[in-house]
Chain A
Amino acid sequence: MTVVPPPELRFRRRVRVRQAAVELWRARELVATLAERELRTRYKQAVLGFAWALIPPVGLMLVFTFFVRHVGHVSTQGTPYQLYAYLGLLPWTFFTASVMNGGVSLVVNVPLLNKVYCPREVFPIASVAAATFDGLISTLVLLVLFPLNSRAPQPTTYWVPLLLAIQLLFTLGVVLLVAGVVVYLRDVRHLLPIALQLGLFITPVAYSLHSVPRHLRGLYVAANPLGAVIDGYRRCVLLGRAPDLHLVAVAGVSSTCLFVLAFWAFKRLETGVADVA
C-alpha cells in the first residue's frame, strides 16, 4: 500500500454552471424556508416586530439630517435632504444586513451542512433574500417621506430595476466571498462591523457622489459600485434625470466580475466546509 497518494489523483471538483443552476433551482424551497426562518426568528421575539426593519435606515436618516442641519452642508441639488439621504440608506442598509447575516450564514448553519447535501450557496442567498424583504418594508417609508417633503417620484424611476440588479449582484458577490472566508477564518466575522462602518463613510450615503473628484469617479465606482447605484437612484427618482450611464456601466461590469469571481471562489471554498466545520 502506498503511504502517499499519487498527486494525479488529486480530487478536483468540476463545477458546471448549468448543473449548479439546476441544483440551486431545486433548492429554491430551502432558500425560501431559510429566509422565512431568518425573518421569523429575528422578529418573533422582538417586541417591535417588523418595525425593526425600519429602524436602521430611518434612525440613520434622522441622525444624518440632524448633523447636516447643524454641522455641515451637503449639496443635494435642491432636493430635501431627508429624501436624498434615505435613497442612499435603502441600498446601504440592504447591503449591511446582507453582509452581516449572510457572512456568517455558513458558520451558523454548520449542523445542517454536515447532514444533508444541498448547494451551500443557499445559506448566503437566503440571508440576502431576508434582507430584500426588510428592504421592501423600509421602502414603504418613502410613501410617507415623499408627501412629507411635498415631492413625488419622477417618471424616470423606470431606471430603478437596472440599478437594483447591479446592487443585488454586487451584494451577492460580497456576501458569497465573506461567507466562504469566514468558515476558514472565524474571527473575520468580528471585522465585519468595523469594515461596514468604514464602508458607510466611503460610500456616498450621507453625502453626494459629487464629493468624489470627477476624473476619479469612474475608478471609484469600479471599486465601489454602490456609489453609482445610489447616485443613480437619486438622479432618476428624485431629480428626474437618467443615471450617469457611463458610471452605471462601469459599476455593472465591476459587479458582474466580482459576482463571477465570488461564486467561483465560494464553490472552491465550499468544498472544504464540512472538514473545518
Chain B
Amino acid sequence: MSREGTVSVTSLWKRFHADRSRPVLRDEFERLRAGSRRSASGRWRWALRDVSVDIEPGEAVGLFGANGSGKSTLLKILTRVMYPTYGRLDVAGRVGALIEVRAGIHPDLTGRENIYLYGSLLGLKRAEVARRFDEIIAFAEVEEAVDRQLKFYSSGMGMRLGFAVAAYLNPDILLVDEVLAVGDAAFQQKCLNRMREVLLDGTTLVFVSHDLATIEATCRRGIWLHEGVVQRDGPVGESLSAYREGIKQLAETAGSVNDRVRFASASVTGPEGADPQTGRCLDVCIRLVSDIAASTSVCLGITEGPAAPVVFTRTQAHLRRGETLANCSIERLPLPAGRYYVWLSVLDGDERDLAPWHPVVSFQVRGPALVPAPPGIMRVAHIHVDTHWRLDHVG
C-alpha cells in the first residue's frame, strides 16, 4: 500500500455505452437479434483513453479541458463511484470529494445528519466529526439551517456545506469539481484559502475548473485532458498555455464567409515596427471587408486565449462597402511577457453581430514576467503595473 494521499493511475481506459438510453428488456432482445450484424465498436464510446497520472501526497493538480473531455469521469473513478474499464488504479487514503452541486448524502436528511453520515462513511468516529462540527457549519455559513432538510437548501448553501464537509473531515485526498462556481466571490475566495490550508497539511488536491485563473492560482501542476486523452501534464503555466493555444485554434474557425463583415488580415507591431514590448506602444492593424454600408461598432480585445479579454476597447465606425483599414494604437501596453491573442467583433447599431467575437491574430510580448502571487490568491489580473516600494524602519 502506498503512502496515504498518493494517487496512482496507470493506463486507465473507460468506456460507456454510446447508445444505451434505455436499459430495458426489449432493447436487449433486439440487441441480441441484431448482434451479428452490428459492429461491436459502434456501441462504445471511450470517455478516457490511456490516462496515466501519478500524484504525490500534498501535490495540487489542476484538471482542465473542454466539456466532455473526461474530467468528471476521471474524478468519479478516483472517488470509486465509478470503475474503470481497463487499467490500474491505486488511491491511498481517505477521499473527500465535492463532485456535484447538490453535495451531501441524502436530500431528505438535515444538514447535521448529512455531516455525521458523511463522516461515518469516511471512517471517522462520531466524536471526531463532533469535534469538527462547529468549524464545518461556521465555514459553510449554515448555522441557522443546520437542522433543515438538505432539499430545502439553496444551491449555494448545498455547495457550501458540501465543500465544508469534504474539506474539513481530514481527507488525505480532496477532489473538487467545478461546482465552486455556484458560490459567490467571497465564498470562492474562502474555499481557495481553505484549499491552500489543506494543501499545507499535506493533503493531495485535484481541482477541476473552467476558471483557468483560479487553477493557475491554486495548483502547481496542470493536466489538460482532451477527448479523454492527457494532452499535457506538467507545470501549470505550461499546460495552461498549451490549452489556451488549443482553444484559440478551435475558435479561429468561428468566423465564416457568411458574415457580412470579415477580417481579411490583421497584424500587431510594437514600437518602430519591432516586437511588442511591455510599457511601450502597440499598433493593431486590421483590414475589414464589408458587404454592406453601415454604421457599426468595432470591438477589440486582447486575451490570453479564451474569450475573456484582459484589455478591451471599441470604436464607432461607419463602414462602406468594400475594404476598410482600421488601426488601433495602445500607448503604453500594460501586459507582462507572454503570448496574447487579438479578438475582434463588429456589431451593428442594435448590438447585433455582423462579425462574431473571435480570435484573429496572436503575438508575443517581451518584457517583465507577471509577478507570481502566492497560491490561493484568486484571479491575479494579467496586467503589468510599474510599482516602486520603499521600506522605512521607524522606531
Contact = CB atoms under 8 A, between A and B. Distances in A.
Closest 5 CB pairs of A and B: A5-B86, A5-B13, A274-B82, A29-B120, A9-B86
A5 B85 contact: yes
Contacts of A29: 116-117, 120
Given A5-B50, A115-B103, A275-B16, A33 B117 contact: yes
A37, A117, A186, A272 — most chain B CB neighbours (10 Å)? A117
Interface residues of A, number: 36
Interface string B88-116: 11000001010110110111110001001
Contacts, number: 103
Interface in B55-90: 76, 79-89
A9 B87 contact: yes
A117 B83 contact: no
A116 interface: yes
Given A184-B23, A186-B24, A275 B82 contact: yes
Contacts of B107: 111
B68 to A, nearest CB: 16
B76 A114 contact: yes
A116 to B, nearest CB: 6
A11 B88 CA distance: 7
A117 B85 contact: no
Given A30-B121, A115-B99, 12 more contacts: A5-B49, A9-B11, A10-B85, A11-B89, A26-B123, A30-B117, A112-B105, A114-B76, A116-B97, A186-B24, A187-B24, A272-B83
B22, B81, B89 — most chain A CB neighbours (10 Å)? B81
B25 A187 contact: yes
Interface residues of B, number: 44
A236 B60 CA distance: 65
A112 B106 contact: yes
Given A112-B106, A271-B83, A118 B121 contact: yes
Contact of A186 (B23, B49, B105): B23
A274 B109 contact: no
Interface string A33-44: 110010001000
B81 A37 contact: no
Interface in A46-91: none
A183 interface: yes
A5 B120 CA distance: 37
Interface string B338-373: 000000000000000000000000000000000000
B321 interface: no
Interface string A1-40: 1100110011101000000000000111110011001000
Interface of A: 1-2, 5-6, 9-11, 13, 26-30, 33-34, 37, 41, 111-118, 183-188, 271-272, 274-276
B280 interface: no
B103 to A, nearest CB: 7
B22, B106, B108 — most chain A CB neighbours (10 Å)? B106
B281 interface: no
Contacts of B123: 26
A11 B87 contact: yes
A30 B89 CA distance: 26
A26 B49 contact: no
B251 interface: no
A41 B107 CA distance: 13
A28 B126 CA distance: 13
A42 to B, nearest CB: 12
14 contacts: A1-B50, A5-B50, A5-B85, A9-B86, A9-B87, A11-B83, A29-B120, A30-B105, A111-B107, A112-B105, A114-B81, A115-B99, A116-B105, A274-B82
Contact of A37 (B87, B88, B102, B106): B106
A30 B86 contact: no
B118 interface: yes
A10 B84 CA distance: 9
B79 A37 contact: no
Contacts of B95: 117
B318 interface: no
